[in-house]
Amino acid sequence: MSRKKVMRAAAAALLMLGGLSAAGTLPAAAQSAGEAPASKSLLTAMQHDFGLTKSQAEARLKAERAATALDPKARATAGAAYGGSWFDAKSNRLTVAVTDDASAGVRQKLRDAGATVRTVDHSARELNAAKARVDRLKAPKSVTSWHVDPGAGSVVIDVVRSKAADNDVQRFLASAREAGPVTVHKVAESASTLAAGTVGGDPYYTGNVRCSIGFSVYGGFVTAGHCGQPSAAVYGWDQSYVGNFQGSSFPDNDYAWVNVGSGWWTVPVVLGWGTTSDQLVRGSNVAPPGTSICRSGSTSHWHCGSVLALNETVNYSQGAVHQLTKTSVCAEPGDSGGAFISGDQAQGVTSGGWGNCSSGGETWFQPINEILSRYGLTLHTA
């Protein structure tokens, strides 16, 4: 098997089959995350997916890096008055929402740091508490998901358009409104997980399921929990044994990790599938809503979009999964477990969605930092 074929067949390019030269698969010494320039192919992908010029794409990526770095500092500065934050692609700035309780000094500190300040009625703590109350309700299958929208100042609940008037949906919405401010959004179809039956030549298999590799960690890789149960054996794109699921959680969460051995090793890279160059992973800083994000998966390969919402509960047929991130990126069966990355920062692993990459849709991912914390793993970075 040629080196080129081996590299392209490994899902998300995070595992390379033994027998290849390490010098041929590992990148040279990397620059620091703050200095690393965007690759030419990533800029090309940004231009294509967002309709930007090269200079606009460069400016946006630079602004997103700054916003991602500023976001946790802004939360700390705003304190109890913090109402949420998101990246505004029109101004290329982080917007930080605060309540009337924020002092003039706090507002000025946020502006001096480069943020746009917006006054809202509800704090993030209040809205998150309202969402937690909604989480405790039993949602019918036609209620697909819900999340806090700080800009709208409410919990946004997605329902299937054709079922919105059904009695069980209306009863749920009535109970949700008692929990706090609610906005109803109608969608075309329900969300589903994105595992698939086995297809020859794709990256990893467990039982009769095909999924995608997420990110390398020391000793293995992370992926979606619905792809396999603890101790289940995992086989690579060439049907050779890779390792076993060491931990898995689904529903409620949707994460898992697999150990590697038998001639496989980990590489801090996400496969670009020829659409863009393979992307180095340098960290896992959380990208705020509004920032660009891309996904790599074994079925639909590389696609980009924007972060739409954090901490969303998704009501799959198997049960609700909490604290997912919602994106405008498309995905298809077999993409489950694959990598979501923003710039060079790992974001999470593909959980599920609706639609496809021909007509469009939305996809959710399980945030990477929760997986690392849960299993005591260390992300493999360049």
Catalytic residue IDs: 226, 254, 336
What are the CA-CA distances from residue 37 to residues 24, 33, 184, 343 (Å)? Answer: 22, 9, 41, 10
Sign of the C-alpha dihedral computed for residues 103, 105, 107 and 109 taken in this order: negative
**Torsion from C-alpha of 196, 198, 203, 207, nearest 10 degrees:** 90
Give every strand in the sheet of 241-249, ordered side by side.
Answer: 196-197, 209-211, 204-206, 233-235, 241-249, 255-259, 220-223, 216-217
Are 125 and 101 in contact by the 8 Å Cβ rule? The answer is no
How far is Cα 5 from Cα 127, in angstroms, rounded to an integer? 49
Among candidate residues 329, 302, 337, the one with its CA nearest the CA of residue 203: 337
Tokens representing residue 380 in the block: 């493999």
CA 202 to chain centre: 22
Report d(CA 57, CA 46) in Å as an integer. 6
